[in-house]
Amino acid sequence: MSNTSENPNPSSSSAKITLKTSDNELFEVEEAVAMKFCTVKQYFEDEKDNDVAARGSSTVIPLPNVHSAVLARLISYCKKLPQSNAVADNHEEEETKKKERKQYGTPGDLVDLISAANYLDFKEGLEFFNQALADHIQNKSVEYVRKFFGIKGDFEPHEEEKYREEYAWAFEGVDED
């Protein structure tokens, strides 16, 4: 009887894993969520082999490359995961998805999310945020893209000029920066 009072609903009390971000914040997440991050999964399994996991939720996995603000967004994204990467059924749905992809932050935030997803080896997340950034730069000018990614144009001005003339069609209909 005492068991039931301690653990009234066994299914909701799945194992938790604690993640520690670069700014020393602790996140307690469900194991199922944490296992989406292959880097965490690998770390967790190695720990298990070393028998450290016997201490259960006291294991803290350090993520020195991920800031708490970014991790919070990745976790909130994880909870919506099943639907978000499915292909839209029609035009309206596609538009809704595009809007949804925009909700995860400014384009600059997306870069942080992509870097974190890349570090965590979080495949679905990487796919989603890559698409969000692709949506963002698709209609942008070359100047915008250079500025955005901090790239210096290294073509000779006359080379670039010639190229722009030859492929003028690719430079039409570009959004304003």
Residue 133 CB, shortest distance to another protein, in Å, is 5
Residues in the chain, overall count: 177
Beta bridge partners of 51: none
| C-beta of residue 12 within 8 angstroms of C-beta of residue 5 | no
Q: To the nearest whole angstrom, how small is the minimum distance from the Cβ of residue 153 to another protein?
A: 6
Q: Which of 85, 104, 111, 121 binds another protein (CB under 8 A)?
A: 111
Q: How far is the CB of 19 from another protein (least distance, A)?
A: 22
Say if CB 66 and CB 21 are below 8 A apart: yes
Whichever of 59 and 141 has its CB closer to another protein, that residue is 141
Please answer whether residues 28 and 17 qualify as being in contact, where contact means their C-beta atoms are separated by less than 8 angstroms: yes
Cβ–Cβ under 8 Å, residues 116 and 75: no
Token pair belonging to 168: 């003028």
Dist CA 41 CA 44 (whole Å): 5
Shortest Å distance, C-beta 44 to another protein: 25
Pick from 11, 58, 90, 103: which binds another protein (CB under 8 A)? 90
Non-local CB neighbours of 62 within 8 Å, separated by 6+ positions: 20
Task: Kindly tell me which residue out of 17, 19, 34, 114 binds another protein, with binding defined by CB under 8 A.
Answer: 114
Q: Are 129 and 140 in contact (CB under 8 A)?
A: no
Nearer to another protein, 16 or 136 (CB): 136
Q: What residues numbered 115-174 form the site for another protein, per CB under 8 A? A: 115, 118, 126, 130-131, 133-134, 137-139, 141-142, 144-155, 160, 163-164, 167, 169-171, 174
Residues engaged in binding another protein (CB under 8 A): 86-91, 93-94, 106-109, 111, 114-115, 118, 126, 130-131, 133-134, 137-139, 141-142, 144-155, 160, 163-164, 167, 169-171, 174, 177
